[in-house]
Amino acid sequence: MLMKLKTGVMLLDDMLKGGLGTGATTLIASKPFTEATPLAYQIAYRWLDAGYPVVYLTNNKRPDIIMEDVKRYGWDLTRFKEEGVLVFVDAYTGFMGIKSEERYAVLNPYNLEEIDGALLKAVNDTGKKSLIIVDSLSTMLDHFGEIIIEKFEEWRRIAILNDSHILYIFIEWDFEEGIKRKLKDRVDNIISLSPIEKGVILSDFFTIEKVGGKPIKPISIPFRYVRPGGMRVYIPKILITGPYHAGKTTVVHALST
């Protein structure tokens, strides 16, 4: 049965028509220097707090670093990890040549079959209605190339069979446009995060490019991350000062259009 869970950002949930549904996939695509992981943390906490498990595949940082980072935003995941409803697939520690403390550890992070096997086992052991986070898709593309795109349909079947949701984190570095297009074609929802300069203001914005497999007209919404609290819709305030008849009203009109 299709279930939708909230992201914790009301406007984002409205744009996603109620939140993230099971049996589906979402791509969080962010421009360099605009963080995507805090939003993933926020969604993970909401999922766990609602009583559903999270499987977090990491290939760019240790699980303990993630736990510390999440806590900075005000969410303590320790209890969920101790209860076994938050599990990590550690595909990073092996790069350092040391043993991981995680149950689902990848000894050779350059072996895609081993990563795939560890992820599948973790999902099967954890149960249905899981949130599966892949952090990060960019690192996978760096290591394995376009074969990762071919994996999308296989992972999508996992989401459908397990009544789960897959959340991909993708930093848009210097990948070819063709690769980006293929990635976006193979997911149900797309959340884009990017810095946009409007007049003299530089802010981070999120847009929804795709919902339920259908492209939609994107609307840019300004946001910022707060600690604690996570993503917040943010409308910056500007103070315009100057002498009488200096053109303050003209500046305000120009910035608002």
| pLDDT above 90: residue 90 | yes
Which band of pLDDT confidence, cut at 50, 70 and 90, is reported for residue 236? low
| pLDDT above 80: residue 197 | no
What lies within 8 Å, CB to CB, of 124 at 6+ separation is 162
Which band of pLDDT confidence, cut at 50, 70 and 90, is reported for residue 219? confident
Structure-model confidence comparison of residues 199 and 144, the more confident one? 144
- State the chain's mean pLDDT as an integer: 91
Domains of the chain from N-terminus onward: 4-255 (3.40.50.300)
At 241 the pLDDT is: 63
For the chain, helix (H) and strand (E) counts, in that order, are 9, 13
Among residues of the chain, what percentage have pLDDT more than 90? 80
Alpha helices in the chain (DSSP H): 10-15, 37-49, 63-72, 78-82, 112-126, 137-144, 147-161, 177-185, 248-255
At 3 the pLDDT is: 85
Which band of pLDDT confidence, cut at 50, 70 and 90, is reported for residue 178? very high
Among residues of the chain, what percentage have pLDDT more than 70? 88
